[in-house]
Amino acid sequence: MAWLSNGNKPAPHRLGPMQTLPQPMRTYPDSEAVDYCVVGVGSAGGVLLQRLARAGFRVVGLEAGPFWDTERDWVSDEKGSHELYWTDLRITGGTHPLALGANNSGKGVGGGSVHWAAFAPRFHPSDFRVYSEDGMGADWPISYWDLKPYYELLEKEIPVAGPAWFPWGDPHGHPYGPHPLGGVGDVLVRGCSRLGIRTVAGGPVAILSASHGDRPHCIYRGFCLQGCKVGAKASTLITHVPDAIDHGAEIRAHSMAARVSVNKDGRADGVLYYDREGKECFQRARAVIVSGYAIETPRLLLNSACPGHPHGLANSSGTLGKYLMAQAGNIIAGRFSELIRMYKAPPAHALTEEFYETDPRHDFARGFAIQTVGPLPIAFAKQMIAAAGAWGWGLRRVMMDYNHWAALGVLGEILPWEDNRVELAEERDQYGLRVAKVTFNLHDNDLKLIEFAKNKVMDVMWAAGAEDVVQESRFAHLVGAARMGSDPAASVVDKFGRTHDISNLFICDGSTLPTQGSANPGLTIQALAARTADYLIRQGDAIFSSSRRDESEPAIRYDLSPPYTQFKGNPRIA
Ligand SMILES: Cc1cc2nc3c(=O)[nH]c(=O)nc-3n(C[C@H](O)[C@H](O)[C@H](O)COP(=O)(O)OP(=O)(O)OC[C@H]3O[C@@H](n4cnc5c(N)ncnc54)[C@H](O)[C@@H]3O)c2cc1C
Ligand code: SF4
């Protein structure tokens, strides 16, 4: 523990009411070449750093945002949590421009896992074979069965609460028991049941239904998207980063990576970044991993163009930035005569995946899920402005009625299209770096799928007994833009996240997903990160010195999980 100059002990860095950070954190000078420099300490970056540190590698995580002290920095207040998001300038366009900025991706240690709703379903086996099965989209270079052991492991690590029997995809149970049903979940289950649609309730969600190590259980106060000051909702800030630090990782907050550097031998040798004072710094590294999210990862690599890589790093295929995906996230809100009280539960707690797979009776491929969402008043007001044109006195009346409304969400699969992409805009940010320009267009299959899904959720809402139903079109969960694949001419990274072009440069985050299914992507992103870590650990020093690619599957390092992984929830489902 480092002491203050006045002799006092510094206040501990708190991550919830009971959890504190291991201190002091190990630090590395810029001039020392660490083994791995990881850009971005979010959903994927946090898991990756934790495992690499436990395996004994010298690792530094550069994070553009702050290192949250949850007791000091977070408030259980909707407006007060605005700073959790990446609100730096981004340019958006296309036939269906994506809303970027607030409520899109995270900035700060934990990244998007800080403000996610924590819905944690797995992808289905069919998601990995979309092209083979439907003649559209893409196949993954791995199968569901390659990832299944990592799903099972991450479900214990974060951990996931949910039903004893999840009947879709590869049916499975969950390590922690389900949560009680809130008002919106009750609407979803009631409406679906009346239409003969199967549902599950109480999860799967990475929120504690029983205490776990030094984290308390959920107290159902509904501020999950505001970070969860209670510490019941999983984020890598509290699940993986403390263990990474405990094992020698340095997390360098307020450090904005500007460029990945490549030496004359064509190997990545470090990252140029701006520190909290805006000073230009250079962290030397024997290998670099970019984990910056589906927009900032391609942006960084495009901004890293240099002689030998004139169109950006890892872009010899020309696919970097392309095949960006978002899921259709239409919100359907219904008014009920009885009280619903949307805020009194985690937004994520009931769903159906009955429409997930391609149905030959439909005129579109792939499908969608229906999930609970429980917007707090500001988000709800915005939805009612967009969905019902509510304004002035009308908006005030709707808001006075807030406790009578329930909101359900479509989560629909939009296929990967080449023209949906991230490029560099001419505009620059506060560091003088060109910002991302995001183009998004819906295609025929997407439009038909969204129309069907939207109407189905409205049917559910009416069936549940709603007196009034409105809907807002929106999108959720950006992934893709640096897709993995076996063919270096058509993809950016291989099945372990290693770029085809530079053997010691990796990408590990949601940008590597070739397709996205209609499951929320966070669990899959973290499972892939654990798998990439196992690969790197098995390769050992070969990553730093050799260009040879070993494609064999690594052994799963169960011994590298964070503490408490084997703890059992109460009630526990085997
Ligand atoms: C409101 C909301 C609710 C969501 N709910 C769910 C849900 O219920 N379930 C689910 O599965 N998913 C959910 N998501 C999506 C989920 O949060 C993301 O898919 C996931 O966090 C992406 O992980 P990632 O590792 O790709 O990126 P992130 O977790 O966003 O991490 C990227 C990190 O890199 C940092 N970074 C970026 N560029 C740089 C740079 N140049 N230098 C330094 N640092 C940099 C960022 O600050 C960030 O911390 C939700 C998203 C939103 C917006
Ligand atoms: S509802 Fe539960 S998970 Fe969400 S903020 Fe409250 S305590 Fe945290």
Q: How far is the CA of 13 from the centre of ligand 1 (A)?
A: 23
Which phi and psi (to 5°) does residue 150 adopt?
-75, -35
Task: Please give the backbone phi and psi of residue 411, each rounded to the nearest 5 degrees, phi first.
Answer: -125, 100
Nearest CA to ligand 1 atom 21: 112
For 164, list phi and psi in degrees, rounded to 5.
-65, -25
Evaluate if residue 571 carries a pLDDT over 70.
no
Confidence label for 147 from pLDDT (cuts 50, 70 and 90): very high
233 torsion bin: left (phi>0), alpha (psi -120 to 50), beta (else): beta
- pLDDT mean across residues, the chain: 94
What is the pLDDT at residue 199?
A: 98
Ligand nearest, relative to CA of residue 204: 1
Q: What does the pLDDT read at residue 569?
A: 61
Question: What average pLDDT does the segment 501-520 reach?
Answer: 98
Of all ligands present, the nearest one to the C-alpha of 16 is 2
Q: Whose CA is nearest to atom 3 of ligand 2?
A: 233
| Number of CB atoms found within 10 A of residue 487's CB | 11
* Nearest ligand (C-alpha, residue 41): 1
Q: Tens digit of pLDDT for each residue in 343-398?
A: 999 999 999 999 999 999 999 999 999 999 999 999 999 999 988 888 999 999 99
61 lines ligand 1 (CB under 6 A): no
Better-predicted residue by pLDDT, 105 or 258: 258
Percentage of the chain modeled with pLDDT above 90? 88
In this prediction, residue 76 carries a pLDDT of: 84
Q: What pLDDT digit, counting tens, does each position of 534-569 carry?
A: 999 999 999 999 888 999 999 999 999 999 888 766
Dist CA 370 CA 182 (whole Å) = 16
Which distant-in-sequence residues (6+ apart) come within 8 Å of 17 by Cβ?
Answer: 71, 216, 230, 231
The pLDDT, as a whole number, for residue 12 is 86
Q: Which two tokens stand for residue 215?
A: 């984290």
Give yes or no for residue 220 CB within 6 A of ligand 2: yes
Per-residue model confidence (pLDDT) at position 418: 98
Single pTM value for the model: 0.97
What's the pLDDT score for residue 557?
96
pLDDT of residue 79: 85
Question: pLDDT by residue (tens digit) across 301-329?
Answer: 999 999 999 999 999 999 999 999 999 99
Q: Residue range 508-517: average pLDDT?
A: 98
Measured from the Cβ of residue 33, the count of other Cβ atoms closer than 10 Å reads 16
Residue 71 Cα to ligand 1 middle (Å): 22
CA of 324 to the centre of ligand 1 (A): 15
Confidence class of residue 187 from pLDDT cuts 50, 70 and 90?
very high
CA of residue 501 to ligand 1 center, whole Å: 25
For 245, residues 6+ apart whose C-beta sits below 8 A from its C-beta are 21, 22, 25, 26, 53, 251
Per-residue pLDDT at 31? 87
Q: Which of 471, 197, 228 is nearest to 334 (CA)?
A: 471
- Pocket lining: 199 vs ligand 1, CB cutoff 6 Å: no
